[in-house]
Amino acid sequence: MSKPIGESQAREPQRESESAKQEDKRSADFIKDQLIILSFLVLYVGIVDTEAYYSAFGVRYQLLSFPSFHVMYRGLTAVRAAWYLAIPYVLILLWFYFEERHKDRLSPGTRILVSSMMAIVLVSISYPIAQYVGFQEAYKDMNEKTSRLPMIACLRYTDDKECRYQHHRLLLSIGDEIILFQPVSRPSYPNVIHLKRGGVDEFTTSQVQ
C-alpha cells in the first residue's frame, strides 16, 4: 500500500533539514579538529623554542613552571625572529586547504593516514627550526651590545644597603627565584646567577634602548 503523496512531500523538508544539520555538524567538527592541530603545532614550537633559549643559559625549562599561554605566545611570536619558522605554519594551512577541498573524496582511513604523515613531517621540520631560533635569540641576549633584556639598576639583600649586580641582565624572575647574568662582549657563555627572592629586599631594573 503506497503512502499518501501529501505525507511524502511533508517528510521531504524534514529529511533536508536533518541532512543540513548533519552537514553543519561535520563542518563544525572539521573546523574544531583543525584548530586543535594548529594549537598543538603552536604549542610544540613554543616548547622547543623556549627550551632551547633557556638551555643556552644552562637553565632547565621544565623547572620554570611557565603557564601554557606563555609558551603559546612564544610559539606565535618566534616567527618575528626568523621568517623561516613560518614554514610549518604555511604547510599546515595548505594541508587544511587541501583537506577542505577534497574532504568528500577522502575516506576516513585515508584522512587519518595522510594526517598522521603530515604530523610527522611538521614535527620533523618544526623541531630543528624552532630549536635554532631559540639558540639564536639566546645568543643575542647574552651579548652586551644586542641584549634586549632589562638591566639590573640596583639589587639589595635584606639588611644590606649596598646595590649589587649593577649592569647585570635580568634573565627571569619567576616564583621564588631571580635569575640574572653579566652579559658578554665576545662569543662565550655568561655566568648565570640564581638568587632566592626571600633573601632579596628589593631590586630595580631599567630597559636599555
Query: Which pLDDT value is given to residue 22?
Result: 62
- Cell numbers that stand for 68 in this block: 601554557
Residue 180 near residue 200 (C-beta atoms within 8 A): no
Q: Is the pLDDT of residue 1 over 80?
A: no
Query: Which pLDDT value is given to residue 165?
Result: 87
Q: What is the mean pLDDT of residues 81-104?
A: 81
124 and 162 together in one domain: no
Residue 141 near residue 148 (C-beta atoms within 8 A): yes
Query: Which pLDDT value is given to residue 25?
Result: 64
Query: Of 142, 167, 182, which residue sits at a domain end?
Result: 142
48 and 135 together in one domain: yes
155 and 138 together in one domain: no
pTM over 0.85: no
Q: Kindly indicate the confidence band of residue 169, based on its pLDDT and cuts at 50, 70 and 90.
A: very high
Taking each helix axis as running N to C, give the angle between helix 108-142 and helix 68-81, from 0 to 180 degrees, rounded to the nearest 10: 80
80 and 117 together in one domain: yes
Q: What is the mean pLDDT of residues 64-73?
A: 82
Side-chain half-sphere exposure of 129, counting CA atoms within 13 A: 23
117 and 193 together in one domain: no
Domain residue limits at 201: 151-206
119 and 69 together in one domain: yes
Rounded Cα gap, residues 189 and 50, in angstroms: 18
Mean pLDDT of the chain: 81
- Residue 134: partners with Cβ closer than 8 Å, 6 or more residues away: 48, 49, 50, 51, 52, 53, 56, 78
Q: Kindly indicate the confidence band of residue 6, based on its pLDDT and cuts at 50, 70 and 90.
A: low
- pLDDT (tens digit per residue) in 93-128: 888 887 777 767 767 777 778 778 888 888 898 999
